[in-house]
Chains A and B, each alone.
Chain A
Amino acid sequence: MSKYEYIPEPALVKGNHDFASLTKLVTDVNLRPTPKPWYAAMLLANAFLGVFLIAVGYLIWEGTGVWGLMNPVGWGWAIINFVWWVGIGHAGTLISAILFLFRQDWRTAINRFAEAMTIFAVICALMFPGIHVGRIWVIYWVFPIPNQMGMWPNFNSPLLWDVFAVSTYFTVSLLFWYVGLIPDLATLRDKATDKIRKFSYGLFALGWTGSNRAWWNYEKAYMILAGLATPLVLSVHTIVSFDFAVSMIPGWHTTIFPPYFVAGAIFSGFAMVLTLMIVARKIYGMEDIMTNDHMEKMNIIIMVTGSMVGFAYMMEFFIAWYSGVEYEKAIFILRATGPYAWAYWIMMTCNVLSPQFFWFKKLRTSVGFTFFISIVVNIGMWFERFVITVTSLANDYLPSSWDYYSPTIWDVLTYVGTFGIFFTLFLAFLRFLPMVAIAEIKAVLPQADPHNYDEETQEFHPHVVEVPQPKAETV
C-alpha cells in the first residue's frame, strides 16, 4: 500500500447516464405536459409583474416625486436596485465565459441556467435607468440619436458609459446564450412530436444538423465569445462603479471601487444561482447533473469573493484614515455609527461574516445551509449598495443640509415588482427551453472522449490512473 492515495476528480454527472438518458432527462421537462404547480407559480409571478406595471404606471403619471427622493439624497432605491440586479447577472457570464476559458468542465451543468439568470437580471436592472428619468418620453436622449436640438450625448459622463456598457452587456449575453442554445434547440426539434413544437424549435434551431464542419466553426465562435465576454463583464461593473467613483462625493471617490464592485457582483450572482439551482434541481429532478459537488465549488467561490469584499470594506476604512481627508474620515465613521448604522451592520454581518462559514466542509456541502446563506448574501449585497448610495449623499460636506432618507411604498412596490419580471421570464425559460446545456454536458462525459475507447475493438473502457509508487525514503 502506497502512502499516497490517488483521489480522482468527482464525476461531473452522477448516476449511470449515457448520451440518450441525458437527452431524455433534460428534454422531458420541455416536452411533457405542463405540470399544474407551474401554472400556480406563473400566476404568482404574474401578480408581482402586475404590481410592477402599476408602480411604474403611477410613477410615469405622477413623476419621480412619488419616490422617497429628496434633498440631499437624490439617488435612492432606483440606483440601488439597478446595481443589485446587474451584479446578480454577472455570475452567469462568469460561469459561461471565465470558467470556460479556465477549462472548468463543471460549469456545463449550470451555465445555461446561469446565463438565463443573467439575461433576466439585466432586464430587471435596465428597468430602473429606463424609468428613473422624470421625462420618460425623452429617454432616447441617452443614445446618440439625432434630436431636435442638434445635440449629442456627453461622452465624458460615466452615466453615458453605463448606457453603452449595460446595453452591450445585454446584447452579448443574449447572443452567447442563443449560440449555446442552437444545438439544444435542434435536439428538441428532433425529439418533439407535435407540430407547434417541431416548427418553433425547428425555426430557432436554424437547421442545425450536428455537422462536425459546423461544430468546428461553432467551437471557435464559442471560444471567441468567451474571450470577449470576459473583459466585457469586468468592464461592465467597473463602469457601474464609475457612476459613483468619478463623482466628488466622500465615500464614493475611491479607486478601489472597480475591483470591489466586480468581486461583490460575482459574490451576489453566485448566491443567486445557488438559490435558484437548489430549488430547480429538486423540482425537476436534476440532482444527477447539478450535484452537491457543484454546490460546494460555488460555495468556495462565494467564500473567496466574500472575503475579497470584506477586505475591500476594511481597505476603504484604512484609506479614509490614511488619506487625511476630513470628509472621507467622517463619512466612514458615520457609516458605522451614524443614522444608517443599522444598515451598515446588516451589510457587515451578511457579507463579511456569513461566507466565512464555508471554511467548514460540513457547512458548504449542506444543502439547507447553503440555501440559507445564499439568501443572506443577497440581502447583504442589497444593503451594501444602500449603504454606499444613501449614507454618502445623506451626510455630505455640509452638516446643515443633512437629512434622513426613507423610501415610499412606491419604491418598495417597484422593487418587489421586478421579481415579477424575473420569475415570469425564468419560469417561461424552465418550461420551454432546456435548462441544462445538453450538448455541452454530453461532451464532458467520459464516453465522449475518444481516448477512453480501445484502439482495436473500439469498446469503451474508462480511463485508469496509475499511481506511481514513491521511492523509498532516504532520510
Chain B
Amino acid sequence: MSTTEQNSELYGILAEFKNPKALIDASKKVVAAGYDKFDTYAPFPIHGIDKAMSLPKSKLGWIVLTCGLIGFTGAVSMMYWMSVMDYPHNISGKPFFNAPAWVPVTFELTVLLSAFGAVFGMLFLNGLPKLYNPLFNVERFKKATDDGFFVCIEAKDSKFQADLVKELFEEAGATHIEEVYD
C-alpha cells in the first residue's frame, strides 16, 4: 500500500479545507476555473454544496419509477395468471379477477421493487461497491469520514496542470495540499 511515487501515476491533487463553508467557497472557485473532473468530500451532506458544485439533478427518481412500475405490473400479472388463467378457483363465489382484494399485494410489491430501485440504483449511480480508491492511499483522507473537508481535482481533467491546481487551492485557503498517487 506504500506509495512509491516514482512508479505510480498521479491520480489528482487533494486539498483540505477547514469547515463546510470553506468547502463550499472552494468548490465554487473550482467550478469557476472550469474544472469538471473534481469532487468534494465531507463526513455529512452539506446544505447547498450541490449548487456550489453545479451538480445536475439526480437521475435516481427515474430508476425508482421504472422499478415501481415493474413491481406494479408484475404483481397484477402474476395474480392474474395464477388466479384467472393457470388455476382458477371459486372462492366463496367471488370473481376470479377480484381486483379489490388484490390491492394489498399489488401495493406491497410496488413498494418492494421501488425500494430495491432506490437502494441499488443509488449504489449504481455512485459506482459502489468500489473497494479500492486511490484516495485511500492518503493517510489524511481518513478524516473525510470524521471531520475533514476535502476537494480533489483529478489528473484526468483536460485542464489539469499540477502547479495551477495547487495555486488555485492555496488561493482558496486550503489548510493542506497533497498529491495523490494511484
Contact = CB atoms under 8 A, between A and B. Distances in A.
Given A152-B82, A190-B142, A218-B126, A19 B91 contact: no
Given A156-B101, A168-B108, A443-B45, A210 B145 contact: yes
A2 interface: no
A458 B22 CA distance: 6
Given A207-B130, A207-B131, A443-B44, A228 B114 contact: yes
B5 interface: no
Interface footprint category on A: 35 or more
A451 B146 CA distance: 21
B112 to A, nearest CB: 5
Interface string B106-143: 01110110111011011101101111110100000111
A225 B63 CA distance: 13
B92 to A, nearest CB: 8
Interface centre among B58, B82, B115, B132 (most CB of A within 10 A): B115
Contacts of B111: 168, 172, 228, 231-232, 235
Contact of B55 (A160, A186, A208, A213): A213
Interface in A30-47: none
B108 A164 contact: yes
B131 A202 contact: yes
B43 A210 contact: yes
Please classify how large the interface on chain B is, using the bins under 10, 10 to 19, 20 to 34, 35 or more. 35 or more
Contacts of B167: none
B118 A225 contact: yes
B34 to A, nearest CB: 18
Q: Is the contact region of chain A dominated by helix, strand, or loop, or is it mixed?
A: helix
Interface string B142-154: 1111110000000
Interface string B59-93: 01100100000000000001100110011010100
B105 A160 contact: yes
Contacts of A19: 43, 146-147
B123 A206 contact: yes
Contacts of B78: 144
Contacts of A203: 131
B45 A228 contact: no
Interface in A442-461: 442-443, 447-451, 453-454, 458, 460
B44 A448 contact: yes
B46 A164 contact: no
Interface string A281-315: 00000000000000000000000000000000000
26 contacts: A19-B43, A20-B146, A23-B43, A155-B101, A155-B102, A161-B104, A172-B111, A176-B115, A183-B43, A187-B146, A191-B146, A207-B128, A211-B39, A211-B41, A212-B41, A212-B53, A224-B64, A232-B108, A239-B104, A242-B104, A440-B44, A450-B24, A451-B47, A453-B22, A454-B21, A458-B19
Interface of B: 18-22, 24-25, 27, 39-50, 53, 55, 58, 60-61, 64, 78-79, 82-83, 86-87, 89, 91, 94, 98, 101-102, 104-105, 107-109, 111-112, 114-116, 118-119, 121-123, 125-126, 128-133, 135, 141-147, 173
